[in-house]
Structure 1
Amino acid sequence: MKKYFLILTMAFTIVFMGCSDQLERTPVDSLVEETAYRTVGDLQLGLNGAINGYSPNQLVAFNSIFTDNIKLGYDNGGQELNTYNQILNADTGDRGLWASRYGAINDFNRLLEAASAITPGTLEVDQYNNILAQCYAFRALMHYELLLYYGFNFLDDSALGVPYVDYVSAVALPARNTTSEVLIGIQADLDNVLALLPVGTNDINFATADFVTFLRARIALESGDYPGAINFAGDIIANYPLANAEQYLAMYRNDANTVEVIWKYDSALGANLGLFSTWNFNGPGPFMEMSNELGGLLEDSDVRSTVNIDPASVPDDNEFIVGKYGLNTDEQAINDFKAMRVSEAYLIRAEAYARTMQFGVLSQNDVFAVRSIRNTSAVMPSHTSIQTALVDILAERRLELAYEGHRYTDIKRMKSVLNIGIDRDASDCVGAVPCELAINSERWIFPVPTVEINANPNIGQAAGY
């Protein structure tokens, strides 16, 4: 979505009314809710600012560095060592995700509250409804991500999740809602999106009806609603083609092709996500590199090798620079984040097929659809059991969704069935760096930030922190 910045300049003015004893003093040196949003145009500016407050960077960084997709770079000077050593920061809730997402939720809640006091003009109704729809959509997405990382068990309706916050309050001390309660709130928000979106809404920089369907596919997979995952993913697959090799390169090299994109986060000059800097300095040398294991898995016949491995890499020396968000034709690393792509929908459906014992033709066909369009040497996989199917799907997700914020949660979702944790190649974890994260580690759940625990007695900390 385009980045717009609301710059509020306040004039500090005192108007003296001659010798009158009655001075009319209107406070203009502060911004209060009653005056912040007065028109639909104000709401639009507020929405743009609220969306701009959401960043995928924390999850992109964490999912790569904490797992088996990254090793120390040759120019590392101490950057990202805690995450690389699989240490979760209880002070910040790790990478500030808790504060970031609840801060964004608060922004969207304030917009919804302000909108309730504004009556749009006849020509503003569609814009007004779209603003409301976007608020509900992104509030749902924020709660989903929080539940995914801080919730105790996505598959258990009665497990403690996260606070579902759909109100504005400066004094509330919310407790954790259950998984079921959070999901009910999310689905209600998504219902509101569909009810409010104007007919024909199709800007992939913002939420659309397909954004809702895609998010529901993800939720269904995580919550064990596999028939739902099959149906929602199927709806996406029916409406979006997979990018061919030329289109795929254009999608990542210049943001020039979006044929398979359902939703993307739009970067622009002056409002750039800066994903390149997740692993690389602006000057020479990376501080984190692609792991040797992942670099070895990317074949020359696979277009994803060209996208993910920077041309400056020296594979023969096990030097793999992450290039997915590299320099574009303007020689600047300004890259959109393709947050929802149809290739993921294929892999969601493949996993849901496997988990419902349809791991023969159906699951392997969906994996092959993605693999064959990316890799000219691809062969049809053989899914003979739920285990062989999930191992293959996990491997394909690793290649297809590399550096897009999925690896940690993918392993977390499959670890109990496959009896695996994080298992780094020995060459990617030299010295005292841990090579494994056990299946029963407490670090599969994020800690709530210390400041939240200290301020809110109703929030229970996850075990082990």
Structure 2
Amino acid sequence: MYKKIALLAMVGALSLSSCQKDLIELTPDFTLDAENNPSNMVQIEHVLNGAYAGLRAADYYGSGSGTGSVSGLMPDVMSDNLFETNQSLANSRPMSQLVFQINEDQITRFYNAGYKVVSSANIVLQNIDKFATAANAKQVNRIKGQALALRALAHFDMFKYFAEDYDRNSTTTLALNYSKEFKVDVNAKPSRLNNKQFYDELLADLNAAQGFLGDVDNASYYITGLVKPRLSLAAIHLLKARVYLYAKMYPEAIASATAGIAIAPTLANTQTAFTGMYNQTAAGEIIWNVQFDANQGGPTNLVYFATQTQSYFRPALEIATVSGTTGLIRSSDIRYAAYFANVRQLASNPQALALIKYRGKSALSNANANFIAMKTAELYLIRAEAYAKGSPAQETLALADLNAVRNARIAGYVPEVLAGTALTDAIANERRREFVGEGHRFFDLKRTTRTLQRGSTCGVPSLSPITTCSLAPSAREWSFPITQTLTNANNNLQQNPSWR
């Protein structure tokens, strides 16, 4: 809950202050009471911009020095894609070591960052119809569609961490509150919905967003040069396909992925196009990116502190090696040069790969890069998995999608013929290759109930301080607890059973 919106004229940013008494008094250029404003469409657009700005928070998709990026790089840190090095500042060690507790402040900050985006979206949705006319109907559609999509995205990003499982029809698994109203009330203490209720609300928002974004005033609004900082219709199809995959609704995942592929960019199949997505020199196959402009930071500092060329976390040797001849990603794959570089670690270990995909734009190495949150390859890999798991009769279609991604990425690739477990394992490995540092791996293991087994560096003191080398599917650390800070503020927030 937040009491008022401060719109800062110089930067166009939106900030929200707590309903509790402010500890620091700041005077913005002008303020608007959120219960009675915004008062025109220009201000509605400012609030929408504020919702997008909220995604850059240091504990959402952004990152501070050695911490943050909870929806960006953290899922790789907490899984088997990256290993913590002896250069680490240990700021996120409770997360990387999987020993976080119910008083973990980073979890509270992520929860608050997600609901801040939701609050901004709700302000838009509660006020925009006041200014709707026949003349601006398509502008209203564009803004409404994005606000609904942002509300759904933020809720889903939090749900992936806090829900103990992703069962679409469970009436006992605790999801989260699905906030659809901005209301100033210190006595409002919502409880958590169950999974079924949560999915119903989530999919309702996405379906409504799809309807609105199918008829907008300015299609070019979603593209600014080499970036795509706004959620478009293709992004909605992808987000729906992602949700359906988690829910194991395979026919629906196939349909949404197919609709997305029809309007998304083609798969990037050259080094220039692929690398350009990450250093903002080419649009490649970007569907949507979280935009970090100059002086707005970026996602990388949790893993690679670019200005000091220090790697707090490095790619697991099972992912890639300096030689480029072993691991899942090899030098013949365009992902290798785009994702990694040989950056000196210590005198005792002078050669080691760094994850440099977010080190900066163009040739800069200042950590100011965009986070590629959605790209065309994900649509193909969602559809491949849904085909493979939906019906044996669709395995040929699954294989075609898998081979399409590999053919675009790997020089001289010879299509494979796979079926059954070999096919589903290959798709899982391809997701691991494709999405290193893009926020998927921890959840891919969680939703498929696999054991997390970290690689050869785990438990080797000369290489890494991490000693938690495996995590069973039944472990409580697959979900975040509701922290003590949150339950102190709202005693209706039920704790996850495994954390009680």
Fold conserved between structures, TM > 0.5: yes
Q: TM-score, normalised by structure 1?
A: 0.86
Q: Please give the alpha-carbon distance, in whole angstroms, between the structure 1 residues aligned to 2:244 and 2:119.
A: 26
Structure 2 residue 288 is matched with structure 1 residue 270: no
Q: Structure 2: 5+ residue runs without aligned partners?
A: 1-8, 16-28, 62-68, 223-227, 322-326
* Per-residue deviation, 1:277: 1.2
What percentage of residue pairs aligned between the two structures are identical?
A: 24
Q: Please give the alpha-carbon distance, in whole angstroms, between the structure 2 residues aligned to 1:83 and 1:361.
A: 39
Q: Which residue of 1 aligns with 2:460?
A: 430
Match of 2:425 among 349, 366, 391: 391
Contact 1:152–1:445 under 8 Å retained in 2: yes
Contact 2:304–2:356 under 8 Å retained in 1: no
Q: Which residue of 1 aligns with 2:333?
A: 302
Q: Please give the alpha-carbon distance, in whole angstroms, between the structure 2 residues aligned to 1:397 and 1:35.
A: 46
- Pair 360,6 (structure 1): closer, same or farther in 2 beyond 3 Å: closer
Contact 2:235–2:260 under 8 Å retained in 1: no
Q: Please give the alpha-carbon distance, in whole angstroms, between the structure 2 residues aligned to 1:263 and 1:99.
A: 23
Q: Please give the alpha-carbon distance, in whole angstroms, between the structure 2 residues aligned to 1:8 and 1:144.
A: 22
* Per-residue deviation, 1:253: 4.7
Q: Alignment length, in residue pairs? A: 438
* Per-residue deviation, 1:89: 4.2
Q: Please give the alpha-carbon distance, in whole angstroms, between the structure 2 residues aligned to 1:205 and 1:7.
A: 15
Q: Give deviations 1:50-76, integer Å, cap 9, x for gaps.
A: 210124222223111111112223522
Q: Please give the alpha-carbon distance, in whole angstroms, between the structure 1 residues aligned to 2:457 and 2:242.
A: 33
Q: Which residue of 1 aligns with 2:50?
A: 49
Q: Which residue of 2 aligns with 1:460?
A: 494
More strand, by proportion: 2
Q: What code does the residue aligned with 2:455 have?
A: D
1:43-442 aligned at under 5 Å gives the runs 43-55=44-56, 56=61, 57-91=69-103, 92=105, 94=107, 96-116=109-129, 118-120=130-132, 124-157=136-169, 158=171, 159-169=173-183, 170=185, 171-197=187-213, 198=216, 201-202=219-220, 203=222, 204-239=228-263, 240-272=265-297, 274-281=298-305, 282-296=307-321, 297=327, 298-312=329-343, 319-331=352-364, 332-358=366-392, 360-385=395-420, 387-415=421-449, 420-431=450-461, 433-442=467-476
Q: Please give the alpha-carbon distance, in whole angstroms, between the structure 1 residues aligned to 2:270 and 2:334.
A: 6
Q: What code does the residue aligned with 2:353 have?
A: F
Q: Please give the alpha-carbon distance, in whole angstroms, between the structure 1 residues aligned to 2:90 and 2:262.
A: 47
Contact 1:4–1:48 under 8 Å retained in 2: no
SS in 2 for 1:310: strand
Q: Please give the alpha-carbon distance, in whole angstroms, between the structure 2 residues aligned to 1:93 and 1:399.
A: 27
Q: Give deviations 1:91-129, integer Å, cap 9, x for gaps.
A: 23727321111121112112222334x324665443333
SS in 1 for 2:289: strand
More helix, by proportion: 1
* Per-residue deviation, 1:35: 5.4
Q: Which residue of 2 aligns with 1:39?
A: 40
Contact 1:132–1:196 under 8 Å retained in 2: yes
Q: Which residue of 1 aligns with 2:6?
A: none
Determine which structure has more spread, i.e. the larger CA radius of gyration. Answer: 1
- Pair 322,29 (structure 1): closer, same or farther in 2 beyond 3 Å: closer
- Pair 124,330 (structure 1): closer, same or farther in 2 beyond 3 Å: farther
* Per-residue deviation, 1:353: 1.1
Q: Structure 1: 5+ residue runs without aligned partners?
A: 10-27
Q: TM-score, normalised by structure 2?
A: 0.81
